[in-house]
Amino acid sequence: MKALILAGGFATRLRPLSCTRPKTLFPIVNKPLLQWIFERLSKDGVDEAILAVNALTKFYIKQTKIPKQGLKIKFSVDPPKKPLGTGGPIKKAEKLLGRSEPFIVLNGDIYAEIDYKKLLETHKKTKALATIALCKVEDPCSFGVVELEENKIRRFVEKPARGQAPSDLINAGAYVLDPEVFDYIPKGKHISIERDVFPKIVEQGRLSGLIIEGLWKDIGKPQEYLEANKAVLDTIKNTKKDEKTCFKVNSPSALDKDVSIGEKSVIGPYAIVGRNVKIGKCVSISNSIILSDTEICDYATIKGAIIGEGAHIGESAKINNGCVVGDKVKIKDKVQLNEKTKVCPAKEINF
Ligand code: GTP
């Protein structure tokens, strides 16, 4: 079976971190999201993954060298300066996907424990044109919401107004599609599968849904990205307790290779620290993600924040809840960032 991974969006809501990497390469507990996706697809019997990208995303993905998990990897690139949306790339990849059997399409910005075999079974059993993985959420209004009867979707409402959602079941961003869907998408156009294609299929009574049970996390916004990391961290076994260290690591936390920590520092709970991060003495980090190659100087405090790659956090600096610090930013000594401050890549903050 083949899978098309949509990964050519601009991730505007994840700026400034997405200024320097595509969403699908954001690390989830120190491993690129795309690697988690490859692992799951390969486990569920997919043998070929086609990445629907733009030229820049293709460059970043190739540079990252993610283990392929036995998958054959191909790229389908949107035309220059002409993004095709979430539907157009499916038509663009028609030749690569072929017309011989149903295929999977999924958003490259979700962490989802979806049983793709079961999704395919439901698709075949219900003789649908498209079968959507569905997820129960508390607030469905910023997603596509469905009305489900048995496995049939009776209504699909994209981002309904508050109070207008037909249920709490949302489009989880993963589908099985029949090749006939190619006939619903015009060539070379920016098409939204959610707004332009699914409503037509619903009208014909050929849209199915399957409620998924595992963990599902969208990483569209910084807070969601942080929450996704924390949720995945909860599913991984706890940090092994380091006896007799002169610093403390509170579980759950994840430290990648070559992390150094100075004396009396308190790391965690929920500290996710990337490769080659240097942490000074008496530093406190909790509920935060620190990407690789960053340096955090003595007495700094980081809570509820995301710090980009290769950043420098000065001595006694304080980075507060909701802050997002871009790659290679320099925060000088004693600087305090107010809650929800966003700092663009490579900036120097001196006050
Ligand atoms: P925002 O700008 O923050 O809304 O993010 P986005 O547009 O990158 O993501 P959105 O949630 O709207 O898209 C869902 C998935 O489709 C993501 O994995 C995107 O990478 C992908 N996607 C969105 N637009 C395009 C596009 O024009 N071309 C391709 N190939 N993929 C896209």
Tell me what pLDDT residue 169 has: 96
pTM: 0.94
Q: Is 159 a catalytic residue?
A: yes
Q: For residue 78, which atom of ligand 1 is closest to its CA?
A: 30
- Per-residue pLDDT for 240 more than 70? no
d(C-alpha 50, C-alpha 32), whole Å? 17
pLDDT digits (tens, 9 = 90+) for 32-54: 999 999 999 999 999 999 999 99
Q: For residue 13, which atom of ligand 1 is closest to its CA?
A: 3
For atom 12 of ligand 1, which residue has the closest CA? 9
Pair of tokens at residue 111 = 């962490």
CA of 337 to the centre of ligand 1 (A): 30
d(C-alpha 132, C-alpha 176), whole Å? 7
Catalytic option among 31, 118, 159, 334:
159
What is the pLDDT averaged over residues 122-132?
96
CA of 170 to the centre of ligand 1 (A): 17
- Per-residue pLDDT for 242 more than 80? no
Query: What is the 3-state secondary structure of 238-295?
Result: CCCCCCCCCCEECCCCEECCCCEECCCCEECCCEEECCCCEECCCCEEECEEECCCCE
Tell me what pLDDT residue 241 has: 57
For atom 7 of ligand 1, which residue has the closest CA? 9
Q: Which residues approach ligand 1 with their CB closer than 6 A?
A: 6-14, 23, 52-53, 78, 83-86, 89, 107-109, 220
pLDDT digits (tens, 9 = 90+) for 158-181: 999 988 899 999 999 999 999 999
Output b/e per residue, 83-95; b: 16+ Cβ within 10 A: ebbbbbbbbbbee
pLDDT digits (tens, 9 = 90+) for 109-124: 999 999 999 999 999 9
Tell me what pLDDT residue 127 has: 95
d(C-alpha 94, C-alpha 187), whole Å? 10
